[in-house]
């Protein structure tokens, strides 16, 4: 009799355990179905970039001058300092173009520098008003032509890449972002919060004889 009672008790415990596991599974499924959709890594919801080579083809050892087109995908007017083109820069943000021969795949060294924010606030407000780039929703901005500092030293097809990194600050990123974002808001615009990658572009490098 005691054995039968213990058996019924064990069965009840097993049923309770199964019921708890089933309830947890239902809650987990509901939570996943309500989770927000995330933007794929590397694809900005704010800016779309396009590399514009200055000519085609390039001659061996030419300087690689390019423009980059920014398209504002957001509902806000975006504003940001002129990005550094020669090094990654935590204060102004940066727009770096890299390239490598398709047949090679060598990586390019990129320098980096840090700096402080513009101070006092009145000076920052003037810079935003008079010097920062401003792009209205759905509008396009094309950068000035700049040397990408990519050594075109191999003949053939090359792939170019471009990445924009917004200002982040080096020593107190959260405080730096709040400082520039509130100043930009006062000027009626928003500082981009996400890095943006351009679709890769292809160029051809030829010899001087082939360029004639």
* Tens of pLDDT, residues 45-85: 999 999 999 999 999 999 999 999 999 999 999 999 999 99
Mean pLDDT of the 9-26 span: 43
Distance between CA atoms of residues 146 and 6, nearest Å: 82
Instruction: Give pLDDT, residue 34.
Output: 33
Asked if residue 178 has pLDDT above 90, the reply is yes
Instruction: Give pLDDT, residue 161.
Output: 96
Instruction: Give pLDDT, residue 166.
Output: 97
Which CATH code of 2.30.42.10, 1.10.10.2840, 2.60.40.10, 2.60.120.280 fits the domain covering 47-206?
Answer: 2.60.40.10
Residue with more model confidence, 1 or 128: 128
Asked if residue 5 has pLDDT above 80, the reply is no
Instruction: Give pLDDT, residue 3.
Output: 45
Angle at 105 between CA 103 and CA 106, to 5 degrees: 125
Per-residue confidence at 171, pLDDT binned at 50, 70, 90? Answer: confident
Asked if residue 144 has pLDDT above 90, the reply is yes
pTM above 0.85, yes or no: no
Q: Which residues contact 8 (CB under 8 A, 6 or more apart)?
A: none
Percent share of the chain, pLDDT over 70: 78
């Amino acid at each position: 009799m005691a054995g039968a009672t213990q058996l019924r008790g064990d069965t009840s415990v097993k049923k309770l355990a199964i019921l708890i596991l089933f309830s947890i599974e239902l809650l987990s499924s509901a939570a996943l179905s309500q989770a927000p959709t995330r933007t794929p890594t590397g694809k900005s919801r704010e800016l779309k970039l396009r590399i514009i080579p200055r000519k085609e083809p390039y001659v061996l050892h030419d300087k690689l001058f390019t423009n980059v087109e920014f398209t504002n995908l957001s509902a806000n007017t975006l504003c940001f300092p002129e990005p550094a083109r020669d090094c990654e820069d935590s204060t102004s943000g940066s727009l770096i173009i890299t390239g490598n021969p398709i047949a090679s795949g060598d990586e390019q060294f990129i320098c980096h520098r840090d700096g402080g924010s513009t101070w006092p606030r009145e000076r920052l407000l003037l810079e935003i008003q008079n010097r920062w780039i401003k792009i209205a929703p759905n509008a396009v901005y094309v950068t000035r032509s700049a040397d990408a500092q990519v050594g075109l030293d191999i003949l053939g097809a090359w792939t170019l890449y471009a990445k924009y990194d917004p200002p982040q600050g080096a020593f107190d990123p959260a405080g730096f972002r709040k400082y520039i974002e509130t100043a930009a808001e006062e000027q009626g615009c928003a500082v981009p919060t996400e890095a943006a990658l351009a679709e890769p572009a292809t160029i051809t490098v030829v010899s001087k004889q082939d360029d004639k």
